[in-house]
Amino acid sequence: MSLLQSWRWYGPNDPVTLQDVKQAGATGIVSALHHIPHGAVWPLEEIQERKRIIEEAGLKWAVVESVPVHEAIKTRSAECEKYLENYRQSLRNLAACGLTTVCYNFMPVLDWTRTNLALEMWNGAKALYFDWADLAVFDIFILKRKGAEQDYTDEVVQQAKERHSSFSQQQLDELSEIIRMGVPMEGFITLEHLTASIEIYKSIGHEGLRDNLAYFLGSIMDVCEETGIKMTIHPDDPPYPILGLPRIASNKEDLLYIIERVDRAPNGICFCTGSLGAGPHNNPVEILKAVGHRVYFAHLRNVKKDQSGNFYESDHLAGDVDMYGVMRELVAINRERKEPIPFRPDHGHQMLDDLNKVTNPGYSAIGRLRGLAELRGLEMGIEKSVYSS
């Protein structure tokens, strides 16, 4: 039984069509109702309509990514219980439609963070990039977070000062928008909102955020067990604290803590090689071996880091992540499962004709098609060479 080859699709407004997805070779769709406000119940009829569109195209809605966790839950503020009940009802509605694998994250305020969405590669393709000095420019000079300089090395602070003095206002505005963007189609957070949220999380801290995650998981596990839903937490991206915000899903110890703190079968992991691989402290193969029994979904992409910890998203088989080792372990785990583990080629270079198109950052068609082709070939090679008699 092969892994379920899947593709993230943002819905009817996605520039990449379901026909494109089929031509790329995927059979599973990873999608979400991005037009539903965070925290609101996902209506049954909206879920059914999205499922209908996907199935009429000859594909399967395999994973829901994501059902966003409202900030009131992450901070466990006054409206937490209301949003928890909404979340439980959304899960019930998804299960009623046969959707039982759900991805989410518990990153404070921001989702994934990059500083450049179009780093030009040697071959003219464009990649997503994270640069510490650019983040420091935003943090120190745009956000003006109190004590921000203390979170960076002297070298990075000096680089940030030099860049800030050389950047035009347009460059500063663009940098600010990129960092505040997060997930496509979910809107920008304002500087004022971000500053206020940083203060809230300062009082919550690392242990408090861990406790809030455990409270969230404990509050939904009964529904998950009743309906057959598997929850998969996405690792922090990048996997270390930024902008003074705590991170609690950044390494092997974090992921083990999460699945052991609420030790119930539906509490699982979305194994993202790119997020974990961006941390010099992480060995994705070792992490997968430790938490693989609770991995229900995988994001496969690669990154290339420099000595300062900056990284860009590289070709799927040509970065710091041992993708062969990861795929070999995934194949071994998958062979023990009754249902195939869905994976998707995560992100991809903007390349060829897509360079002339407007696409969601990281989610153009051709770069992901290349990634999926490489990953499918890698999986088949491992199956044939390791498991064929």
- Among all residues, which ones are annotated catalytic? 234, 272, 299, 346-347, 363
Q: What is the greatest pairwise CA distance in the chain?
A: 64
Q: Determine the straight-line distance between the first and last CA of the chain, rounded to whole angstroms.
A: 15
Alpha-carbon span 302 to 349, nearest angstrom: 11
Give me 211's structure tokens: 């406790």
Bond before 250 cis per omega within 30 degrees: no
CB 272 within 8 A of CB 291: no
CA 145/CA 200 separation, integer angstroms: 13
Angle made by CA atoms 5, 92, 112, in degrees to the nearest 5: 50
Separation of alpha carbons 192 and 177, rounded Å: 13
Q: Of 278, 290, 225, which Cα lies nearest the Cα of 254?
A: 290
199 to 55, 114, 305: CA distances (angstroms): 45, 22, 31
Token output for 364: 């153009």
Query: Is the N-terminal amide bond of 15 cis, ω within 30° of 0?
Result: no
Report the C-alpha gap between 298 and 383 in whole angstroms: 18
Three-state DSSP at 380 gives helix
Q: Are 273 and 299 spatial neighbours (Cβ–Cβ below 8 Å)? A: yes
Q: What is the dihedral of CA 157, 304, 334, 344, to 10 degrees?
A: 90
Q: What share of the chain is helix, strand, coil (3-state, %, to 5)?
A: 50, 15, 35
- Structure tokens given for 256: 């083990």
Residue with tokens 């309906």: 227
Rg of the chain taking only CA atoms, in angstroms: 20
Give the angle 364-365-366 at the CA atoms, nearest 5°.
110
* Contact by Cβ (8 Å): 258, 294: no
